Amino acid sequence: MKNIIYKTLFAFCLIGLIMSCSQELDIDPRENEIIQPDFSSLDDIETALYGVYSGFKSDRVYGEKVLSLGEWPADNLKIASQNVGFGAIIHQWDYTESFSDMEEIWVGIYDIVRRANFIIEAVDNYSGEDMSSALSYKAQALALKSLALLDAHKVFANRYQDGSGLSVVYVSDPNDILQKLPRLSTNELFDLIASDLQFAIDNMSSEFDVNYVSKAFVYGLMARLHMYENDWQSALDNAEDAIANTPVALSSINEYENMWGENDEDGECIFKLAFDSDDGNIGDLYYNDGVGPVFDPSADLTSLYSNDDVRLPSFFRQNSQFGLIIGKFFGPPSQRGLHEPKVMRLSEMYLLKAEALAELGRDAEALESLDMIRSNRIPSFNGGTESGPELMEAIRLERRKELAYEGFRFSDLARWGEDVVRNDCSADECLLPSNDFKLIFPIPRAELFANENMVQNPGY
Amino acid sequence: MKKKFVLLMCLVLNMSFLAAQISMQGTVTDKDGLPLIGANVLEKETTNGTTTDLDGNYILTVSGPNAVITVSYTGYISTDRPVSLNGNMDFVLSEGALLDEIVVVGYGEQNRESLTGAVSSISSVEFETQPIAGIDQLLQGQAPGLVVLGGSGQPGSDAGNVMLRGPSTIQGSNAPIYIMDGIQISPSDFAALNPNDIESTTVLRDASSAAIYGASGANGVILIKTKSGHSGKTRVSYNFQYGLSTRTQDKFEMMNSTEKLAYEAITQRGPGWVLSPDNPANFGLSEEQLMANEAILDSLRGINTNWRDLIFQDGKVQQHNLSISGGDDNSKFFFSANYYDEEGQMIDSRFKRGALRLNIEEKISDRFTVGVRTSGGFSDSRFIQTENLLNLNNPFALAYILNPYEQVYNEDGSYQFGATGRNVFEEAELNETTTTEFKGLAILNADAKLTNNLEFRGRWGIDYTGSNNTEYIDPESRLGSTTVQGNEGLLDKGHSSRIWMTLSHVLDYRKILNERHAFSMIVGQEFRKRHINNFDFTAYGLTGGLRTVGGITEGSADAPDFIPTIGGGVSQKALASYFARINYTLDDKYNFTLGARRDGSSVFGDNNRWGNFWNAGASWVLSREDFMRDNDVINYLKLGVSYGTNGNSEGILETEKYALFTNGSYGGNSAFLASSTNPGNADLKWEVLKGLNALLEFSLFNDRILANINYYRNVTQDLFISQELPRSAGGTSLTINAGSMKNEGIEVDLDFNVYRSQDWNINIGGQFSYNKNLITDLGQVDEFELGTSIVREGLALSTHYIEEWGGVNPANGNPLYVDDDGNLTEDFNAVNPKATYGSSIAPWAGGISLSANYRSFSLSALGSFVYGNVIFNNQSFLLENPNFAQFNSSNIMNTMWMEEGDITEIQRLGTPRQFTSKDLEDGSFFRLRRLTLSYSIPMEDRLMNTFDGISVYFVARNLITITDFTGFDPEISNNIAQFEYPSSRAFTFGLRLDL
C-alpha cells in the first residue's frame, strides 16, 4: 500500500513538474508581430505622436473630407458635366445620417483624438529625465486634438447662438473604447479646448517647422475657437499673437503663385501637412487628371476676381479640353492632384484679424488688415476705403476669394447666417436658405446606434 | 513479392521477430451448428486475422502458443480463447449484443455498453478501397449528425464543410477537432496523411463525451487511431487502385453558335451584332458587303466548339499502398508506404502524394512500454488557383462562357483570345501554379503501470506542415504581357510553416470492488502550442526567360513596377489544460460518469484566460435487469442521459485581446497608429456550449435490428459577435461575447440484418439526423446582414435574405417583384428583402448503407443525403444575364421576353438584372457515394498456398446524384454556388494481396 502511495506521489510530482506551464500562455506580443508601443519610453511616445499627425492625412480628414464637406455644398463650384455623380449627394444637400461620409469624418476625427489621448496619458505618467521633451509632445498632442475637435465642431455644430447649443464629444480616456459620452455644449467644449491650447502654448517649444504644430499655430487655433463663439476681442488677440509668432511673412504677389498649382511651396503657411506620394490626392476632389473635372469653378466666384489678381492663375487653369478648371491643388507632373493640405496660412489670420476688428467697430485697423491681403494679391490695388457694413462685406468677400476650396466656405456661410446661393448652377437645387438644417451635417448613424447618449442635430 | 518484402524489411527495420508460429484451423458455427460465413478470426491485439469461408472454416497462423484468438461476427457475441496446442479450434458463437465492443473515447477506451453519451464508431474497412486523398472526405454519411460536404473537388483538397449537430458558432469555424493517436492534429491538410493507415475512427457527438476536450470540444471531436503492429507472423499487404474520374452531369445547357449569334444580334453585342444587317452601322452597306457579313456569320455558325469537352478531362487516379506489420511479444511494428496520384477533371490540375508511416511499440518491461508513431507525407500539386468565384480567372466559369464560335487556336496556329480575352490552354501551357507540402507527424508515447491499478500515459507530439507555393506567369503569355504589374510576367513564391506541439500526461486508475463496483478514473494535463511562420514575395519582370528567382528584374525608382512586394508574419498561441474524469459502473447495469476540465488560452487576456468545463452522465442497461432477461423480442435495451459544457475559441485572432497599433509614417518619421478597427478586448472569453443528450439504444429479434437514437439540445452562449462601438471612443467594432444560439435535434442510427444463411448475409444500415438551428440572442442588435444572408434572432443561421421575384410582366417584359403585402411591382427599390426562403445549412441529413455478401462476393453501397437547404445560385447571374451577352449564355436566354404577351421567366433586354429569390434553389441532394463490388479468392484455392488473401474490387464513386439544383454541383462549401470545382464521378479497379 505504501508503495502505491509513493508511486502515486512520484507520478503527481512528475506531472506537476511538467505542468508549471501556465506562464507559457503569456505570449509576448512581439512573437505575434504586433506593435505595442512602450509608452514609458520617450522614443515610443514620439513615434506615436507622429501617428497623431499621420491621422490628419487620412481621406477621412484632411486627405479629403475636411475639404469636400467644406466646399462641395457651398457656392464656389458646380458639378462638371463629366462627373457621373461623384460628390453629388453633398453638393445637392442630400445627405442623411446613414450617408457614409458622415461616419468617415467622425471616425477620422475621433481616431486622431484617441491617438492624441494616448500621448497625453503617457506624458502624464512619464517619470523620465527629459521632461521638457515629454511636455512638448503633450503640447503637440493637445494642439492636434484641438484642431481635430474644432474641425468636428465646424462640420457638425458650428452655428453659434448662445453657447449652450450642442457641439461635439470631448474624449480624454484612450483606453475605454466602450465609453458612451454625450455631446457637450459649445461653451463646455470650448472651455476644455481653450485650456488644452493654453497648456500647449505654455509648453510648446518655440521652434518653427511648417509641417509640425507651433506656438503660432496654437494661437491661430485659439483665434479660430473664439471666432466660432463670436468672442472677437480674444479672437483678435490670438490672431495677432499668431501673426507675431510666425517667422515668415505674408506671401507677396510674386511669391504667391508658388504655393499653388504644380508648385506646393510652404510660403506663408503656419501649418501644412507633410504628404507622401501614397497619401491622397486632394486635387482630385476638383479635377482628376485621368477622368477630367469633377467640379468646375463657379462663375459666382471667378467673376469676383479682378483680372490682374494673382489668385486667378494660382487657383484656376485653362484646360484645352475642359476649359477653366480648379487648379489650386493641381499637383506635379509625376502625380497630378498630390498637394499638401495647408491647414493654416497667415492670410487666414490677417482676414480673421480684420473680421474681429470690424466686429469690434475698429474699422480703420480692420481695413488696414484687409488691405494687407488685397495689396499682396492684386497688383493694381491702391488701398481700400470701405467702412461699416461695406467693410464687413469686403472682409467676407476677401475671405471667400482667398480661402476658396480650402474647406472654409460652407461653414463661413453658416457662421454668418447667409444663404448658399448658386447663380452659376448645374445642380438640381441651387439655393440653401440660411435657416436650413442642412447647413450642419448629421451625426452619423453608426455613432447614434452604439451610443444612446448621443443626440442628433435638428432636422435629421 | 517475397523478395521485395525482405528487402523492405531490411530497409525499414532492424528487428528480430522470431517466434514459434502455429497454424490453427477450425470451424465457426452458431448455436444450431449452422456455419457462420465471413466471421472474423483474429489473433487478439494484432491485425493478424482471416475470415471464415463458405463452410465456416478458417485457417490462421498465429504468433505462438501464448496467442489468443478472437472470433467475431455481426450480431453475435465475440469470443476470445487461447490457442490449443493441437492446432484445431472450433468456435460456437451465441447471438448477442454487438455492444461489448471497445470504443476509443477521450484519453482512453471504454466498453460501448457503459457509455452514457452519443459515440459513433466508423469502420475503416472501406477506407482502403477508395482513392480519396483526404480523411475527412471518407467520413461522409458515416455517423448520424456528422455532415461532411465535399466542397471543392480539386484533387487533394480538404472537405469543404464538416459540421456536427449543426452550427454552434457564428463567427468561428464549425469544424470538429481531430485527435490522432491521442494528439490533436490540425483540421486541415488531411491530404498529406494516408487514410489506409487508419484502424478506427470514433466520433464524440454529444457535449458530455466531448467535454473532456473542454475548450476545444464545442464542435465535436473525431478520434482517429492508426494501425499497430502485432506479434506473430509478419503480414505484408499490398493494395493497388487504378481509376478514371469524369465530371458529374450539368443540369443546364448552353447556347450553340447559331443561337448565340442570334442572341448577340438582339442584345447588340459581339460579332452577331457587328455583322448584323439590323445594326445601324451596316445600313449603308452594299448588298455584296451584307452578303460577305452573312458569309462570315455562316462560317461562325459552322464552328461549334464544345468548350466543356475540351477543358474538362477524364482524370486518372492511381494508388499504391504497401503495409507490413509484425513483431514479437516485446516489439511490434507497423510500416506503410503510400503513393497516390490523381489527375483532376480540369486540364492542368493534378495532385501527387507520397507518404510513409512507421509505428513502433517496445515493451521494456512488464510495466513499461514506449512507442513512437510517425508519419511523413509529401505532396505536390498543380492546382486551379481560382474556383468558386464569378470571374474570368475561374476556368470552370470559362468552360461555360466561352463562345461556341470561338476556337482554341487561330488558323495560323496561335492561341485565340475571344470575348473573354482568356485562353485556358495557353495559360496551362505557359503559366503554372504549384504547391508542395510536407506534413510530418511524430507522436511519442510512454505507458507505465505504476501499480496493478494505476497507469501513467504520456503523449508528446509534433504536427508540422510546411508548404511552398509558386505562381509563375510567363511574360509571353497574354496575362503576363498585359495585366501583370510591369507587363513582363510575374513570379510569386511563398513559404509557410505551422507547428503544433502537444504534451499530454494522464494517470489512469481502475479498480473493481466486490465484483460489483467498477471504478475508472483519469486525471491529466495537457499543453499545446502553435507556431506559424510565413513569408512570400511577388516579383515582376521575368524578362530573361528564366522561371526562377534569377529571372526577375530588380526594381528601382526608375522602374517602380518591378519592385517586388514582400509579405510575411509570425504568430503563436498556446493552450494549457487540466482534466479529470470518473466512470463508475454498478452491477454492469448502472453507469455513471463525471468529468471536469480547466483550460487556459493565450488568446484571451488575463481577465478571462481560464475557463471551466464539466460533464455528467448516467445510463441504465435495462436488459440486464431480471424483468427483461427472458424477453424474446428485446435483446438489449439501454437508456442514457448526459449533460456537458464545451468551449470554443476558434474564429478569433490571437491578437484580439490587444489594442492594436499599425505602422505608418509622417514626414519621413515612422509612426505608431492606434487602430480603430482593432481596439482590443481584454475581456473576451470562451464561447460556451451547453449540451443535453438523451440516448435510447436497443436491439431486437436476436440482434437482427439494432438501433441507437439520440435527442440533443445544445445551446451556445457568449457567442463571438462583432459589436458596433461608439465611434467617438475611437473604435469602430469589437468582437465581444454576446448572444446565443440553439441546436436541437434527433439522430437515428439503424442496422438491420435482413437475411442471413449459409451463403448469404445482407445488412442494411441507415442513419438520419434532423437539426433545428435557431439564433436566440444577438446582444446589441436583433439582426445583421451577412452577404446575401441575414443573421436574425428567431431564424436559423445562414438564412437567405433577398427580394422576392415575381416573374416577368407579359405586357412589357419588365421584371416583377413581390412587395411586403404580396403585391407585384416593377419598382425594385420599393421592395424589401425577405427572410422566408430558408437556410443554406440543411436541417435533414443522413446516409444509407447496404452490404451483401454471397460466398466470396460482396457488394456494398453507401449513399448520403442532405435535405431542406437552399443554395444561392450565383452562376445564373453570369449565364442568364444580357449584360454578359458578349459571353456564352444558358440556352434559357432563348426564351427572353421579346413582345407583348410572351410568357417567360427571362425579363426583357435592357432591364436591370437584380439578385432575387429567383436565384435561390433547393440544394437538397442524394448522392450514391460509393458502390463497391469485391471478390475474394476462396481459401481453398491453390493460389492460397502462397497468399493469405487475394481480393479484387471495383468501386464507383458518386455514380448517381439526385437533385433539383440546376447549378454545377449541389455539394458546395458555402451558401453560394459560383463554379466551384465540382465533385467527380470516379470508377476504380482495385487489387489487394496479403501474404
Please name which of A284, A262, A260 lies closest in space to residue A272, comparing C-alpha atoms.
A260
Whole-number average pLDDT of chain A: 91
Closest residue in A to B665 (Cα) is A54
As a whole number of angstroms, the distance between CA A32 and CA B527 comes to 19
Report CA-CA distances (Å) from B686 to B159, B602, B607, B703, B719: 26, 12, 12, 44, 8
Are the CB atoms for B688 and B717 separated by under 8 Å? yes
> Is A11 close to B454, i.e. CB distance below 8 A?
yes
> Is B726 close to A454, i.e. CB distance below 8 A?
yes
**B736 to chain A, minimum CA–CA distance in Å?**
11
Phi/psi of residue A201, each to 5°? -60, -40
Are the CB atoms for B593 and B642 separated by under 8 Å? yes
Mean of pLDDT values over A49-77:
95
Q: Which of B444, B521, B728, B782 best probes binding to A when mutated, by most A CB atoms within 10 angstroms?
A: B728
Out of A47, A274, A447, the one facing B667 most closely (by C-beta) is A274
Q: State the pairing for strand pair B350-365/B68-72.
A: unpaired
Least confident of A407-411, B8-12, B978-982: B8-12
> Is B727 close to A450, i.e. CB distance below 8 A?
yes
Q: Give me the helix-helix angle, A363-375 and A346-359, nearest 10°.
A: 160
Any residues with CB less than 8 A from the CB of B515 and at least 6 apart, and which? none
For the segment A329-380, what is each residue's pLDDT rounded down to a tens digit?
A: 999 988 889 999 999 999 999 999 999 999 999 999 999 999 999 999 999 9
**pLDDT at position A4 over 70:** no
| pLDDT-based confidence at residue B121 (cuts at 50, 70, 90) | confident
Q: What burial letters (b/e) apply to B617-656, b meaning 16+ CB within 10 Å?
A: bbbbbbbbeeeeeeeeeebbbbebbbbbbbbbbbbbebbb
Out of B571, B659, B674, the one facing A51 most closely (by C-beta) is B674
Please name which of A318, A272, A282 lies closest in space to residue A405, comparing C-alpha atoms.
A282
As a whole number of angstroms, the distance between CA B55 and CA B41 comes to 14
Are the CB atoms for B939 and B49 separated by under 8 Å? no
As a whole number of angstroms, the distance between CA B138 and CA B121 comes to 13
**A348 to chain B, minimum CA–CA distance in Å?**
24
Q: Which of A26, A111, A120 best probes binding to B when mutated, by most B CB atoms within 10 angstroms?
A: A111
Out of A34, A47, A274, the one facing B670 most closely (by C-beta) is A47
DSSP B257: H
Least confident of A33-37, B277-281, B283-287, B702-706: A33-37
| pLDDT-based confidence at residue A90 (cuts at 50, 70, 90) | very high
B contacts of A38 (beta carbons < 8 Å): none
Please name which of B286, B332, B293, B471 lies closest in space to residue B393, comparing C-alpha atoms.
B471
**pLDDT at position B412 over 70:** yes
For the segment B276-291, what is each residue's pLDDT rounded down to a tens digit?
A: 888 888 888 888 888 9
Instruction: Look at phi and psi of residue A154 and say left if phi exceeds 0, alpha if psi is from -120 to 50, else beta.
Output: alpha
**pLDDT at position A20 over 70:** no
ipTM surpassing 0.85: yes
> Is A179 close to B729, i.e. CB distance below 8 A?
yes
Per-residue pLDDT at A249: 94
Please name which of A383, A361, A362 lies closest in space to residue A372, comparing C-alpha atoms.
A383
Out of A25, A34, A171, the one facing B574 most closely (by C-beta) is A25
Q: What angle do CA A285, A288, A289 make, to 5 degrees?
A: 150
Per-residue pLDDT at A16: 54
As a whole number of angstroms, the distance between CA B127 and CA B122 comes to 10
Q: Grid coordinates standing for B400?
A: 461555360
Per-residue pLDDT at B367: 87
Out of B507, B576, B734, the one facing A25 most closely (by C-beta) is B576
Q: Grid coordinates standing for B841?
A: 445549412
Please name which of A363, A385, A401 lies closest in space to residue A75, comparing C-alpha atoms.
A401
As a whole number of angstroms, the distance between CA A45 and CA B316 comes to 63
Q: List, in sequence order, the alpha helices (H) in A161-310.
A: 186-203, 215-228, 232-245, 253-256, 299-302
Q: State the pairing for strand pair B815-818/B804-808.
A: antiparallel
B14 touches chain A (CB under 8 A): no
> Is A55 close to B576, i.e. CB distance below 8 A?
no
B578 touches chain A (CB under 8 A): yes
Out of B450, B507, B724, the one facing A450 most closely (by C-beta) is B724
Whole-number average pLDDT of chain B: 85
Mean of pLDDT values over A208-230:
96
Closest residue in B to A16 (Cα) is B525
B284 touches chain A (CB under 8 A): no
Q: State the pairing for strand pair B590-601/B565-586.
A: antiparallel
For the segment B652-664, what is each residue's pLDDT rounded down to a tens digit?
A: 877 788 888 888 8
B contacts of A166 (beta carbons < 8 Å): none
Estimate to the nearest angstrom the gap between the alpha carbon of B128 and the chain centroid.
Answer: 17
Percent of chain A with pLDDT over 90: 75
Secondary structure (DSSP) of B158-184: PPSEEEESS---SSS--PPEEEETTEE
Query: Tell me, what amino acid is at B351?
Result: F
Percent of chain B with pLDDT over 70: 96
Are the CB atoms for B205 and B143 separated by under 8 Å? yes
**pLDDT at position B65 over 80:** no
Q: Give me the helix-helix angle, A363-375 and A388-402, nearest 10°.
A: 30
> Is B574 close to A24, i.e. CB distance below 8 A?
yes
**pLDDT at position A30 over 70:** no
Length of chain A measured in residues: 460
B390 or A389, greater pLDDT: A389
For the segment B612-651, what is each residue's pLDDT rounded down to a tens digit?
A: 999 999 999 888 888 887 788 888 889 999 999 998 888 7
A contacts of B450 (beta carbons < 8 Å): 4, 7-8, 10-11
Any residues with CB less than 8 A from the CB of B708 and at least 6 apart, and which? B118, B144, B695, B696, B697, B748, B749, B750
**A292 to chain B, minimum CA–CA distance in Å?**
24
Report CA-CA distances (Å) from B352 to B246, B438, B835, B852, B984: 18, 12, 44, 34, 17
Mean of pLDDT values over B307-335:
89
Instruction: Look at phi and psi of residue B798 and say left if phi exceeds 0, alpha if psi is from -120 to 50, else beta.
Output: left
Q: List, in sequence order, the alpha helices (H) in B222-340.
A: 257-267, 270-274, 287-302, 307-311
For the segment B814-871, what is each residue's pLDDT rounded down to a tens digit?
A: 999 999 898 999 888 788 888 889 998 999 999 999 988 887 888 989 999 999 999 9
> Is A35 close to B450, i.e. CB distance below 8 A?
no
For the segment B424-450, what is each residue's pLDDT rounded down to a tens digit?
A: 888 888 888 899 999 999 999 999 888
**B452 to chain A, minimum CA–CA distance in Å?**
9
Per-residue pLDDT at A402: 96
Closest residue in A to B780 (Cα) is A450
Cα dihedral value A341, A343, A349, A350, nearest 10: 0
As a whole number of angstroms, the distance between CA A395 and CA B26 comes to 117
**A342 to chain B, minimum CA–CA distance in Å?**
15
> Is A36 close to B725, i.e. CB distance below 8 A?
no
Percent of chain A with pLDDT over 70: 94
Are the CB atoms for B536 and B493 separated by under 8 Å? yes
As a whole number of angstroms, the distance between CA A217 and CA A344 comes to 7
Q: Kindly report the pTM of this predicted structure.
A: 0.80
